[in-house]
Amino acid sequence: MVCCPMKQWICTFCCIFSCLFVSIGDAQDQSGEALFDLGVFAFEDKDYAAAQKFLLQAHQLNPDNPFYCHFLGKIYLALDQLDSAEKYLQKAYQLNPVINELEYDLAYLTFKRADFQNASHQFIQIVENDPFTQNVLASYYAGISLFQCKKYQQAVTYLMRASRRSPTLKPNCMFYCGICYYKMNKTVEALRHFEYVLMYASAPLKSHAKNWLIALRDTRPDNKKFEALIKCSVLYDDNVMIVTPDLITGDEADSAMLCYLSGKYLWQWKPKHQIGFGIRHYQTFHQDLSEFDLTGSAVDLTYHYKLNDYTYKINYSPSAYWLERYRYMFRHRLKASVQWKIMKDLTNHVAYTCDILDNYNNELRDGHTHDFSMFLCYRIPSYSLTLLAGISAQDNLRKHVLYQYLETSYNLEFIYKFVKTWKWHSSFKLYQRRFDIWEDVKRKDDRIDFLSSLSHPFWQDGLELAIEYDYSKNNSKLEQFDIFDYRRNTFGISLIYYY
């Protein structure tokens, strides 16, 4: 019984010591959490020195806290101390592998070490495991990593995902997409993306995009070996006719389908010499007036020679035409042209064209033409605007004087891109045709053509959907006849593919 008081004292002392130990542990946890919060605030303010100080103190109080380890890793990532970052991030992953953003930080560490192959796999896994938000930054760095691995098509996929979800990142994404398309020899798409960056990015990215645009426009004929265009249109024509050197009109309305295909391949023969081969095919299918179905096929053989700022071209193009599956006309065309830069964004183009015509329906229309033309092209990149103005004179010589005439034409057109991807193209042409001898009666024809189209990319790169309107009016001045007067309106919807 003597020992009972001693036992009571011992038990009391143990209870007091245990409570004191628990209190010290709780105080340490609370102190660590306070230091952690201070470190997070400092990190968000980009005061990395203070953040490092607070997080190290918190980590000393509780070395096995995965959140402290994770944030220390983030701080060392921001300071580019990659070995320390790896140490703490790996420890956090061992303690708790499902911490929010931990996988992303480990992937970013791999990216910072320039191990782009593994980084791309890590970022792609993060994106695919999060199909709803797709983690914008993970998509962006997945694209950059794939770009560094020269996997350009895959890079575009992830960069465009990021651009659609982040207006802030979009200029950067579009810039890298432009480079990817350039590497894939898709110059049209590359130009389109760099033009977007030029319009919406800030310096210095805007300057880089401008330099790319200048370089691509200067070297485009040398870089792109193959070009193709496919166009399918549904049209309504209120005055069906065949617009050839000899007008054939039905004076009736009809709907039609138009198909056009062209392809061109350029072969670099020597550093300043190119040889090109191309084909073109045109065909219309009318709903009711099948006798106006026109088919045309042509082959293009071209030689280019570049000397300093001048580009010389010679083109030979034989072409055949059928009207309702019957041979209508065969034409040989020889064209010589020279193009040069007058100033930075202003280009001049001068050409001479000679046509030899063989008309199967009427041999009196056989003959040849001589055409001299010149047009100026002025680009305003800051406004995404292209202006073209030209003039041409044609002497049409036929076997019979009845079909001979002189023609002068004037052309003005512009191409304007607005609201990011919309393109508006309009042109105005004036033709003045003079028949010196036409059955002893003077005949003068004045024709105006107005064409306007509005297009927008559709579904995938290189594909466009366009709405088109074409208006023509011809006034023929004869003393007693107006049989050559007409008006024509054409409305159409077109699907166009560029390659």
Grade residue 25 by pLDDT with cuts at 50, 70 and 90.
very low
Cα dihedral: 70, 71, 77, 79 (round 10) = -150
pLDDT tens for 52-73 read 787 788 878 888 788 888 888 8
Distance CA 299, CA 263 (A): 10
- Specify the pLDDT at position 73: 84
Residue range 226-498 in CATH 3.90.1150.10 = no
pLDDT tens for 305-320 read 988 889 999 999 999 9
Predicted model pTM: 0.57
Cβ partners under 8 Å of residue 493, min gap 6: 233, 234, 465, 466, 467, 468
Mean pLDDT of the chain: 84
The most confident of the ranges 128-142, 209-223, 369-383 is 369-383
- Specify the pLDDT at position 19: 45
Closest among 192, 129, 127 to 162, alpha carbons compared: 127
pLDDT tens for 274-305 read 899 999 999 999 999 888 899 999 999 999 99
Distance CA 68, CA 91 (A): 10
Q: Hey, where are the domains in the chain?
A: 226-498
